[in-house]
Homo-oligomer: A and B are copies of this chain.
């Protein structure tokens, strides 16, 4: 897949004002935290949680590791800050944006899928999605935190959409929770593939991928349960 911004290409020390000698030591208490979370976001996505070295995060933000520890107690605290700043903020914005949505369930679903792509999937935040999907087993507290703050709320958005579609007759009565899983899976894979080079999804653009997913979905949701889909004598 021709991934757009090339994760990892983000810039290092963020903003040196014009007169700054870039090598000089500067005191910039206010700017440090966001510069550090930005650097961490990029590297977490690129390498994963475990493989990201805090020396590298600090260097990318233009400070030393000691400085990092002035602002964040631990690697995990740094990760939480990244999630709060990016994921939680984006989710809140999406809830806001969609709360008053008036269109059909299909349109709402379309908004969710492509909105996710715009706000999360194509941004460096997708790296966090991948990180959680891949490493949660090794970092249970991180996973628990993420589940509470992000996953629950994300699923709720999809659930509302599907329930609305089923209630209006626009979608057939599929099992909602399972459908949420199936709908989310390609999004997660898209995030994962962006940061785990050349696995699946390398053949097409994210946009084509999402459009195909969406088309399969609306037709599937409209038709599911209508006909006996399981072929007659099929058994593995």
Which residues of A line the B interface, CB within 8 A?
A: 1, 46-48, 50-51, 103-104, 106-107, 110-111, 114-115, 117-118, 130, 132-138, 143, 147, 151, 174-175, 177-182, 184-186, 188-190, 192, 195-201, 203-204, 208-209, 211-227, 229-236
Contact = CB atoms under 8 A, between A and B. Distances in A.
Contact of A138 (B47, B178, B218, B235): B47
Nearest to A224: B215
Q: How many copies does the complex hold?
A: 2
A178 B225 CA distance: 25
A179 B51 CA distance: 33
Given A104-B231, A189-B189, A177 B203 contact: yes
A163 to B, nearest CB: 15
A185 B199 contact: no
- Sort A-B residue pairs by CB-CB distance and give the 7 closest, nearest first: A216-B220, A134-B134, A219-B223, A114-B236, A177-B203, A185-B189, A185-B186
B118 A236 contact: yes
| Main SS at interface, chain A | helix
Nearest to A179: B212
A97 to B, nearest CB: 10
Contacts of A195: 137
- Which of A50, A132, A189 has most B Cβ within 10 Å? A189
Contacts of A174: 212
Given A117-B236, A177-B203, A196 B231 contact: no
A216 B198 CA distance: 26
Nearest to A112: B236
A86 B181 CA distance: 27
